[in-house]
Structures are given as structure tokens and as C-alpha cells.
Amino acid sequence: MSTGDSSGNPPGRPRHGYLGPPGTFCQMALDAWPDPQEAEHVPCDSVLAALDALRAGTLDAAMVPIENSVEGGVSATLDALSVGSDVVIVGEVLVPVTFVIAARPGLTLEEVRAVGTHSHGWAQVRRWVAANLPTAAYLPTLSTAAAAAGLDPRGPSVVAYDAAVCAPVAARIHGLHILAADIGDSSAAVTRFVLVAAPGQTPPPTGADKTTLVLYQRDDHPGGLLELLEQFAARGVNLTRLESRPTGEAMGSYCFSVDVEGHIADARVAETLMGLKRVCTQVRYLGSYARADGRRTPPVEGTTDSDFTGARAWLGSLLAR
């Protein structure tokens, strides 16, 4: 990765990494992140490279994709967050995924012979391509932005494709002409990016928060997952995402990657975390942060902070007398 000349970094201006090169959806996410300190945006080669730089201290934060409304959880990110020293998610950004097909000025759609893009981008424009460019070849690139960069008229012409599927911003950056816009098969496609930082930076609760966890079950037996979910249900905590993930040790050995509504500072989430800690082999806390959609879901009856405080006071009164 190119983390730049860190010696030239003015003190106080933080460095935020993203999945480069410039023009990726990930950069769009970082641009959309409210950032009063005007952090420097540093392109990284991969999710792992970005998180490694964060862990090494050469980055202050990293924006990485975690979930795609079409493709689901981004395995590389989920796994890179789960191993290595602790990092925490401090925020999330939703980026609508809008694809264009772009080429050097002068080329028409009919003239396109080969298309370059990232395999994930390619997967999301299949239907459009089948209908409009049925005979075009496909060449994988490292990112959708890299596909556009390869065609930049200001650079050398070495790539074996003549059109790129990329974000509108990438076409603009690289001086390409848009042959067709909004060519994604799902018009509602959106990617969820998370901003990751070193531990100790959990933002305060906003009332519309999410908490991300990785849970390792003690053993695999019928009803095991049900028992685990009881820890959530007993405190009225709702899951918004649940994925069993291979632990990498053996096929069939899983952990669970989950998102829940609420913040670690909420009593119902805190007690759930402690309950999970007791019944799991390992619980990895990956952060509490404001929801990008700002949706507030009021706690179910009996699970507000004051319900927990009241219950504790009542218990105290029983023990004291």
C-alpha cells in the first residue's frame, strides 16, 4: 500500500485510509463521512493493507466495505476485523452503488470489444451486459476504479479492454466518456462501509446505534445457536445481521458475525455482551456506532436503561434488608 510520506503529515491532521485507487466507492464513502478535522485520504491496496496500517499506527482510521446489499457480507473485511489486534468500528456510511460504463472519448458503445472491472462489479451488471454487449470479453481488474484508471487518456494505453464498468466519479476523475449510466442489475444496490479505528474511541450513544460482534460457540450441538440467541432475546436486543463464518480451522467450525441494535453503553446491550462472554468461547467486540440510516428503534418494554437501574435497585433492597 501507498501510505504516503508520513513525515510530511502536518501534526493534528489525521490520516484515513480507503480501498484505492481514487474513484472507488470506498472513496465515495470516505468523502461522505462528516469530518471536521479534514483528514488526509490515503488510498490502500486492500482491506487487509488498510487494517494493517491502522494497527501499525500509520493510519488513524480506515474506511472499508463490510456488507453489500447484493453480495452480502464482505468476507475479507469480516475476517480481517476478526483476527489480529483489536480495532473498533466507529461509524458506518451507506453508498448507493451506481455503475456506469465508460470509455475514452470517441468510442461508441457498439465499438466496445472488452470490458474491464472488478469481479464484484461485473457480477452486478451481468444482465445489462448480456442484453447490450453480449459478445464483449471480460477482464478482471483490481477495483472498478482501477479499470477506469487503466483507460485514462493521460496515461499509457496498455490495457486489453476498451471500456470500464465503474462509479461515475471514477469516470470523471479519469476523463472518460460515459457510454451508459445506471447499468446495475439492482437499482437499489447499496454498499455499507465502516470506519475502523484503534480501540478506545467508541463514540457516545445517539439513540440510533448498532454494535458489531464476533461470537465463537463453545461447541456445536443441536440447539446451540438457539441458546446463544436466548442471550439476546432475554434482554430484548434485536439482531440486524447474522452470519456463520468459518473459523478457518476446519470445514464445519464456525463463528458468528452479528450486528445488533443498540450501543455498548445501553444496559440491555452491556448485559447481553456479558451473557455472551459467559456462554461463548470467545466474544470479539468490534464497536458501537451510530447507524447510517439514523433509524431509532425504541427498546421493547422492560429493557430501557431505567428498567435495568430499577431492577438493580430492587435487588439491592432485597439483599440489604
Residue 32 in contact with a copy of itself, rule: CB under 8 A: no
Answer yes or no: are the C-beta atoms of 262 and 269 closer than 8 Å: yes
Tell me which residues in 105-164 interact with a copy of itself (CB under 8 A).
118-119, 123, 126, 138, 140-142
Q: Which is nearer to a copy of itself, 186 or 206 (CB)?
A: 186
Measured CA distances, 40 to 36, 61, 297 (Å)? 12, 10, 35
Tell me which residues in 39-68 interact with a copy of itself (CB under 8 A).
48, 67-68
Residue of 56, 109, 181, 233 interacting with a copy of itself (CB under 8 A): 233
> What x-and-dash track marks residues 261-280 binding a copy of itself by CB under 8 A?
---xx----xx-xxx-xxx-
Helix 47-56 and helix 75-82, axial crossing angle in degrees, nearest 10: 20
Tell me which H or E stretch contains 137. Answer: strand 137-140
Q: Which is nearer to a copy of itself, 182 or 230 (CB)?
A: 230
Tell me which residues in 6-25 interact with a copy of itself (CB under 8 A).
none
CA–CA separation, 263 and 304 (whole Å)? 12
The residue assigned the cell 468523502 is: 31
Tell me which residues in 70-89 interact with a copy of itself (CB under 8 A).
70-73, 75-76, 78-79
Cell matching residue 311? 431492577
Please tell me what DSSP assigns to residue 318: H
Q: Which is nearer to a copy of itself, 153 or 316 (CB)?
A: 316
Tell me which residues in 188-207 interact with a copy of itself (CB under 8 A).
188-190, 192, 199-200, 202
**Cβ 262 to a copy of itself shortest distance, Å:** 11
For residues 126-163, b (16+ Cβ closer than 10 Å) or e, as one string? eebbeebbeebeebebebbbbbbbbbbeeeeeebebbb
**Cβ 202 to a copy of itself shortest distance, Å:** 8
